[in-house]
Chain A
Amino acid sequence: MNYDWLDERVEAYVDGELSGADLERFEAGLTESADLRTAVATARRIREVMASVPLPQCPEPAVADVLRLASESRRSLSMRDRYIEALRPRRRLVQVFAVAAVVAIGGSLILRDLGPQNEVEQGLADVKLALAYVGEAGRQAGDIVRIEVVDEGVVRPIRRAVSHVTGEDVNGRSQGAAAVESTRDN
């Protein structure tokens, strides 16, 4: 009996990962060796104890402190910083629009007919194209500012303040009704 071979496979046996000839050889070793039986019992006990130790709960004040500090940090951001932060995820989109506009205008300048009438028409077309790109970029930026800066930074705090004063939640229900509904949902 090769005890080292058996000892190396105690963890796999306890995890149910042995099969076939290896499993038969290991179980034969179990009948012969008291040390191996002790090894298996110890491995099982360790798993039981570790699994039964409850995960310590993070103290509530520690989490509350973190959220408060983050909230204060956010409030200290200027309107410009908030705008930049809101635009950051869309920065690549704006960059793509800018590059596309430059390529379109530059390409049309290179390829256009140089006759006077065509030059005027081409110029007008270039202006329209550029305005279309600028307009689309502006619309995207406007949506971002409206949703992520104005709604979140201005409208929601005002609604919360109003609901705090009137005793109604943001949907116009009384706090009592909202609490009853919340309890029912739970």
Chain B
Amino acid sequence: MKVREFERLVGESSDRLFGYAVHFLANREEAQDVVQDVYMRLWDNRSLVQADGAMGWLISVTRNLCLDRLRRRKVRSIVTVDSDRVGDHATSQSSPEDDASASVFEALLIDAMENLPEQQKSIVILREMIGMSYQEISDALDLPLTTVKVYLHRGRRHLRRQLATVIDSEAV
């Protein structure tokens, strides 16, 4: 991989890697450190990593570094709603009540995701939030395509069951 390919790859992938790490770790500072670490590892291994298949490699290393950080945490982090993100999410057309309801649901959703098994959580983030295809996820996590689909189904079902009571209470 040449310098220009490296620079292009960093430009194309930094938001996706950062987004994945932020959702995985629920911490922006740690996510930033992880992404920098990932790119330095890519630079050190540039003679071994082909530019074409680098995205899978990057996601795989990001996931491993996130897992390392989670293991190092002695206690589970308390998930807080990112105020910046909620601010971005709100639109001028929605009422304050709608915004509050959306924020609460989003916070509960993120909280529910914290309780997913690690692989289901990774797959839900990569598919629903990062927008990767089944095949890209399969390559990145080194899992068969059918396993990716099964884990995604289980992850979605788990979230739905966790959040059904919220929808129920809103309907009342």
Interface residues in chain A, defined as those with a beta carbon under 8 Å from any beta carbon in chain B: 7-8, 10-11, 38-39, 41-43, 45-47, 49-59, 62-63, 65-67, 69-71, 73-74, 85, 88
Query: Which of the residues B40, B85, B157 comes within 8 Å of A56, measured between beta carbons?
Result: B85
CB neighbours of B143 from chain A (8 A): none
Chain A-chain B contacts (Cβ-Cβ < 8 Å), number: 101
How far apart are the CA atoms of A10 and B163 in the complex, in Å? Answer: 14
> For residue A59, which residues in chain B have a CB less than 8 angstroms away from its CB?
18, 32
The answer on a CB contact under 8 Å between B15 and A53 is no
Cβ contacts under 8 Å, B82 to chain A: 56
Residue B78, interface by CB 8 Å = no
| B164 and A42 contacting across the interface, CB-CB below 8 Å | yes
Task: Scan residues 11-41 of chain B and give those whose CB is less than 8 A from a CB of chain A.
Answer: 11, 14-19, 22, 28, 31-32, 35-36, 39-40
Asked if residues B129 and A73 are in contact (CB atoms below 8 Å), the reply is no
Cβ–Cβ contact B88 & A54, under 8 A = yes
Task: Choose from A11, A74, A85 the contact partner of B156 (Cβ within 8 Å).
Answer: A11
User: Known: A43-B156, A88-B47. Contact between A55 and B164, CB under 8 A?
Assistant: no
Q: How many residues of B contact A (CB 8 A)?
A: 44
B163 touches A46 (CB 8 A): yes
Partner of A57, one of B15, B109, B159: B15
Assuming the contacts A38-B168, A70-B43, asked whether A53 and B156 have C-beta atoms less than 8 A apart, the reply is: no
> Is A55 touching B163 in the complex (CB atoms < 8 A)?
no
What A residues does B11 contact at CB under 8 A? 63
Q: Answer whether residue B98 sits at the interface, using C-beta atoms and an 8 A cutoff.
A: no
Let me know if A58 and B105 touch, CB within 8 A: no
- Asked if B69 is at the interface (CB within 8 A of a chain A CB), the reply is no
| A51 CA / B82 CA spacing, docked (Å) | 16
Contact B18 A73 (CB under 8 A): no
Query: B171 to chain A: which residues have CB within 8 Å?
Result: 38, 41
Nearest chain-B residue to A46 (Cβ)?
Answer: B159
